[in-house]
Amino acid sequence: MPEIIATPKRQRRSHGRPTLHDVARVAQVTRITVSRFFREPNLVAQDTAARIREAILQTGYVPNRQAGQLASGRSQIVAALIPNIGHSIFAETIQGLAEGLRDTGHELLLASTGYSMEREEAQLRALVGWAPGALIVTGRHHTAGTCRLLQEAQATGIPVVEIWDHAPQPGAPGEFAQIGFNHEAVGRAMAAHLLDRGHTSLAYVDSGVAEDYRAHERGEGFVAQARAAGARVTVHRAATGDAFDAGRGAFDALRNAAGAHITAAAFANDHLACGVLMQALEQGVAVPGELALLGFGDFPLGRQMRPALSTVRPPRAEIGRAAAAAVLLSMATQEGAQSSALPWALISRQSTDVSR
Amino acid sequence: MPEIIATPKRQRRSHGRPTLHDVARVAQVTRITVSRFFREPNLVAQDTAARIREAILQTGYVPNRQAGQLASGRSQIVAALIPNIGHSIFAETIQGLAEGLRDTGHELLLASTGYSMEREEAQLRALVGWAPGALIVTGRHHTAGTCRLLQEAQATGIPVVEIWDHAPQPGAPGEFAQIGFNHEAVGRAMAAHLLDRGHTSLAYVDSGVAEDYRAHERGEGFVAQARAAGARVTVHRAATGDAFDAGRGAFDALRNAAGAHITAAAFANDHLACGVLMQALEQGVAVPGELALLGFGDFPLGRQMRPALSTVRPPRAEIGRAAAAAVLLSMATQEGAQSSALPWALISRQSTDVSR
DNA sequence: TTGAAAGCGCTAACAG
DNA sequence: CTGTTAGCGCTTTCAA
């Protein structure tokens, strides 16, 4: 009497979707052949392939990428961390990223940090749990924990890219690829633009967001350049909240700056600048005659103001596309991601015209 | 002589990251206990938990969510499909989504369709491969293939939500939850707003994007309401490309409309309206005196124009937050996602003032 | 050109 | 409170 012990079949906890196995059964082959059909189609006989194709259609099979990823150890997930997805300045970057990833078989896993470094670390930890094949973070300022996570990831061959910044430290090890531009240089160019137009008493109105390091750095560059030229320069921190209203609020500070008659101001962003511009128009202060204004961001708003706002155009979408291309290349070649400095442009419009 | 056949250890293809096993070894327990430590901490003894905690810190372990998901059959991925992430109108929705998902253990998988229904289907198919626990798509117009995929997903218990629309068909089966608002109603309200101000010859300037069904529907509502009131109404399709320039281009068409002296126009979006507004100002056409203008979207730009642009404020961020809440609830309760109509507001500013 | 066996990292079910 | 066993859906050797 053979002791056949019927092992109690454990309850299946399937997800309802057809699996490789279902396709294989219909096509009368084994699972591996179907798997191969997807990965190396030309290793599968013509008629077998035809049967499989038929079976896929019949079952409505869609391969489970998680299982595939787990088994292969290769990841097709690109995880990105952005301060605020809704901010126009980043929205186009994300769109660029999504476009760059489209039809490459890679997917975009996205999270926002709300400009908080602590949240960035927490979110990064969560994203790392999905075993992404690439990591994209914004800026080069992070908590120690974030840096450790990024370094560990990079050590296991995962490309890490910092976007929206480019300030490589010569000879500093353990850095990540940077795709963006140098904010200090932009700040210097902004100051130079105003100095060129004869201004000697300048102001920089900084972002009210404490963690907007890039805006602060532009301010530092601005101040350095102005000082080097012997100009007077003050820095104002805008209020938090609606940037436009914050700009309006900054107007008085600019007009009443102690001991200095400010004739030109640069801003952390166009919204701030437009707020001041509107306020100036309403108060009868001539722009650029009495006060020249220079924004940052090149949003549609500024271009339509009268006088039109001079500004700096950052490579918003390009950053996203370049980051996608960089991580894709790095994942394909197994080499580290490459930094790249992307071009920006100072767009001179009426708000900084010298001819009144 | 015992026949110990050393089974040739297959090459490990680990990913470098520590696993449950590594933590277990350090903590001197088995993997399952560590697993339990994460999922049901109070079923683990105090000192065991302490050892595990220590081991996690020591190894830098981060759980592999893909493996967890595969094993448990539960998915914590929310996949969303958006026409264009960079468009300001959707950017805030995504931010709302990301915020709503933050710290819930769920992750946002995002793709953009570029307003193409074919691309939507392709992208959806790709996203479905990641076995998401919820699906969010934009609008209620899809290819047949998209609908089938969504239906199959819903049939297996995955909540499906259509955002940015709300037009439930009474008694139509196989529909999905809708979170947004009714565009036809908005269109009617826009017409009513202008009719109220005594206009009898209206125009609607539609989006140049052929697949922007929501803009078209607002147009239909607009026309219906205007006709019902006995007003004359024409529809213009804006050019594709930069919406602002398209608006400028539409100005001539509005002024030279055959056989009708248009006194008020509504637009598919604020940018279009602002383009016309700028052109009108430059050509010396009084707004709202000779031409009243009504936008849609409530972007900062319109609020700052002079005259300030009347517009409709859609619940941009609210849609994202509500969608996140809806799918989260549905995933938790195993019940279908609930539709909801979100409030919008017609904001009357100077561009439609009746007192010149 | 196809298949068998082993295993990716984790969890469910069922003991103990 | 902790462990054993089986298996999620797929891919990777290796063998035929």
> What value does the mean pLDDT of chain A take?
92
Cβ of residue A104 closer than 8 Å to a chain B Cβ = no
Domain B76-181+316-341 and domain B183-313, same fold? Reply is: yes
Whether residue A4 has pLDDT greater than 90: no
| Measured torsion, CA atoms of residues B243, B317, A132, A59, in degrees rounded to the nearest 10 | -80
Cβ of residue A274 closer than 8 Å to a chain B Cβ = yes
Other C-beta atoms within 10 Å of A42: how many? Answer: 7
Whether residue A172 has pLDDT greater than 90: no
pLDDT of residue B180: 98
Query: Looking at chain A, which runs of residues are DSSP E strands?
Result: 77-82, 107-112, 134-138, 160-163, 177-180, 201-206, 232-237, 264-267, 292-294, 311-313, 340-341, 345-347
pTM: 0.93
Dist CA A213 CA A165 (whole Å): 10
Tell which wins on pLDDT, A257 or B198: B198
Whether residue A162 has pLDDT greater than 90: yes
Select the residue of B103, B110, B123 nearest A110 (Cβ to Cβ).
Answer: B110
Chain A residues within an 8 Å CB radius of B317: 86
Q: How confident is the model at residue A28 (pLDDT cuts 50, 70, 90)?
A: very high
Q: Does domain B183-313 have CATH number 3.40.50.2300?
A: yes
Q: Pick the range with the lowest mean pLDDT from A58-62, B4-8, B47-51, B114-118.
A: B4-8
Whether residue A193 has pLDDT greater than 50: yes
Residues A207-260 pLDDT 10s: 999 999 999 999 999 999 999 999 999 999 999 988 888 999 999 999 987 777
Distance from CA of A225 to the nearest CA of B (A): 32
List the nucleotides on chain C closer than 7 A to a protein CB: 1-14
Residues B201-225 pLDDT 10s: 999 999 999 999 999 999 999 999 9
Whether B304 and A15 lie within 8 Å, measured CB to CB: no
Q: How confident is the model at residue B2 (pLDDT cuts 50, 70, 90)?
A: very low
Whether A110 and B112 lie within 8 Å, measured CB to CB: no
- Give the amino acid at B146: T
Q: Can you give the residue ranges of every domain in chain B?
A: 16-55, 76-181+316-341, 183-313
Cβ of residue A336 closer than 8 Å to a chain B Cβ = no
Whether residue A11 has pLDDT greater than 50: no
pLDDT of residue A15: 65
Q: How confident is the model at residue B15 (pLDDT cuts 50, 70, 90)?
A: low
Whether residue B11 has pLDDT greater than 50: no
A-B contacts (CB, under 8 Å): 153
pLDDT of residue A14: 54
Dist CA A224 CA A204 (whole Å): 11
* CA angle (B188 as vertex; B186, B191 as ends), nearest 5: 110
Portion 252-271 of A in contact with B at CB < 8 A: 271
Paired residues of A79 in beta bridges: A109, A135
> What value does the mean pLDDT of chain B take?
92
Cβ of residue A165 closer than 8 Å to a chain B Cβ = no
Of B277, B212, B271, give the one whose Cα is nearest residue B246.
Answer: B271
Residues B119-144 pLDDT 10s: 999 999 999 999 999 999 999 999 99
Instruction: Please state which CATH class domain B76-181+316-341 belongs to.
Output: alpha beta
CB A162 within 8 A of CB A106: no
Distance from CA of A55 to the nearest CA of B (A): 17
Other C-beta atoms within 10 Å of A72: how many? Answer: 11
